[in-house]
């Protein structure tokens, strides 16, 4: 009998601790969820820092081509540029800015801040004015007509509302200011690659922080009300061709607000 009692007591203790455990988890669920979410963002920042450094090398030629527009704008204006970089990530673009450019980095993921600052430290020829935590769709803390240029590389695929984001880009640009971009985009509607993109999109979007494979970014830029739009299609050459087919179709170019300077 004593043995059975001891066993029952053990089971009761077990159930009790289990219930207390569940209760604690339930009570602290908000903290636990926010902890997991922040760790996810931290992991994204860490992985993207490595990954974007690699992609940056592959995109060097295209980036140099679009950033040359900043050099000529800087020459024409005769003073250092003030630039907003939207979704800067770890700030792999710091290599390309004209000397003495003053840059504001806008980035929703707070865990990029230290990478951005480290990169700024390595680039003494530019100046990082500040890092703002925020989303492209709503930049109301940035004044109208306050930047000579806005830069976006591989960001439009991830914003929630590209139309609103582009409206904001145009709003913060000075008249005559330039928007430069390099983006991966949806393949031609009906093509084999487009079918793969559509098939992979739901999983991809979850795994890659909201990145949408089938976004027709060129169309959004063309319809955003810029006066002069120039878009070039190219294929991003990275990884093993068959495995990366769906993320190869890309564009680079520029768009100007109002009359060109």
Ligand X SMILES: *[C@@H]1O[C@H](CO)[C@@H](O)[C@H](O)[C@H]1NC(C)=O
Ligand Y SMILES: C[S@@+](CC[C@H](N)C(=O)[O-])C[C@H]1O[C@@H](n2cnc3c(N)ncnc32)[C@H](O)[C@@H]1O
Figure out which of the listed residues 83, 96, 107, 120 binds ligand Y, where binding follows CB under 6 A: 107
Scan residues 71-90 and list those touching ligand Y (CB under 6 A): 86-89
Binding segment toward ligand Y, per CB under 6 A, in 26-34, 102-110, 119-127, 228-236: 102-110
* Binding-residue total with ligand Y (CB under 6 A): 22
Write the binding mask 117 to 146 for ligand Y: x where contact by CB under 6 A, - elsewhere.
------------------xxx---------
Give the Cα separation of 56 and 113 in Å (integer): 18
Exposure string (b/e) for 36-58, b if CB count within 10 Å is 16 or more?
eeeeeeeebbeebbeebeebbee
Give the Cα separation of 257 and 221 in Å (integer): 12
Closer to ligand Y by Cβ: residue 148 or 183: 183
* Closest distance of CB 29 from ligand Y, Å: 26
- Residue 136 binds: one of ligand Y, ligand X, none (C-beta under 5 to 8 A by kind): ligand Y
- Return all residues near 174 (Cβ < 8 A) that are at least 6 apart: 145, 146, 147, 148, 257
Write the binding mask 95 to 124 for ligand X: x where contact by CB under 6 A, - elsewhere.
x--xx----------------------xx-
Taking the alpha carbons at both ends of the chain, their separation in whole angstroms is 95
Closer to ligand X by Cβ: residue 111 or 120: 120
Figure out which of the listed residues 76, 160, 219, 241 binds ligand Y, where binding follows CB under 6 A: 160
Asked if residues 107 and 128 have their Cβ atoms less than 8 Å apart, the reply is: no
Q: Is 212 in the site for ligand X (CB under 6 A)?
A: yes
Residue found by looking up tokens 């050099």 in the block? 71
Long-range contacts of 56-61 (CB under 8 A, 24+ apart): 56/92, 56/93, 56/95, 58/236, 58/237, 58/238, 59/153, 59/182, 59/236
Token reading at 112: 């990029």
Per CB under 6 A, residues contacting ligand Y are 48, 52, 56, 86-89, 92, 107-109, 112, 135-137, 153-155, 158-160, 210
Per CB under 6 A, residues contacting ligand X are 95, 98-99, 122-123, 125, 162, 201, 205, 212, 214-216
């Amino acid at each position: 009998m004593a043995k059975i009692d001891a066993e029952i007591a053990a089971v009761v203790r077990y159930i009790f601790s289990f219930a207390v455990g569940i209760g604690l988890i339930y009570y602290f669920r908000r903290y636990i969820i926010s902890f997991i979410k922040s760790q996810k963002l931290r992991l994204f920042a860490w992985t993207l820092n490595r990954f974007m450094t690699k992609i940056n090398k592959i995109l060097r030629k295209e980036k140099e081509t679009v950033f040359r527009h900043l050099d000529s704008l800087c020459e024409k204006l005769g003073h250092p540029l003030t630039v907003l970089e939207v979704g800067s990530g770890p700030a792999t673009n710091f290599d390309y800015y004209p000397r003495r450019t003053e840059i504001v980095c806008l980035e929703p993921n707070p865990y990029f801040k230290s990478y951005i600052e480290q990169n700024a430290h390595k680039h003494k020829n530019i100046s990082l004015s500040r890092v703002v935590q925020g989303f492209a769709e709503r930049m109301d803390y940035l004044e109208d007509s306050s930047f000579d240029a806005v830069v976006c590389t591989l960001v439009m695929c991830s914003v929630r509302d590209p139309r609103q984001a582009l409206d904001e880009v145009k709003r913060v640009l000075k008249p005559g200011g330039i928007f430069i971009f390099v983006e991966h985009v949806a393949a031609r509607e009906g093509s084999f690659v487009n079918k793969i993109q559509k098939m992979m999109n739901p999983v991809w979007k979850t795994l890659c922080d909201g990145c949408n494979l089938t976004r027709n970014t060129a169309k959004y830029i063309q319809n955003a009300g810029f006066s002069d739009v120039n878009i070039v299609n190219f294929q991003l050459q990275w990884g093993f061709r068959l495995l990366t087919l769906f993320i190869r179709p890309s564009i680079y170019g520029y768009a100007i607000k109002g009359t060109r300077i």
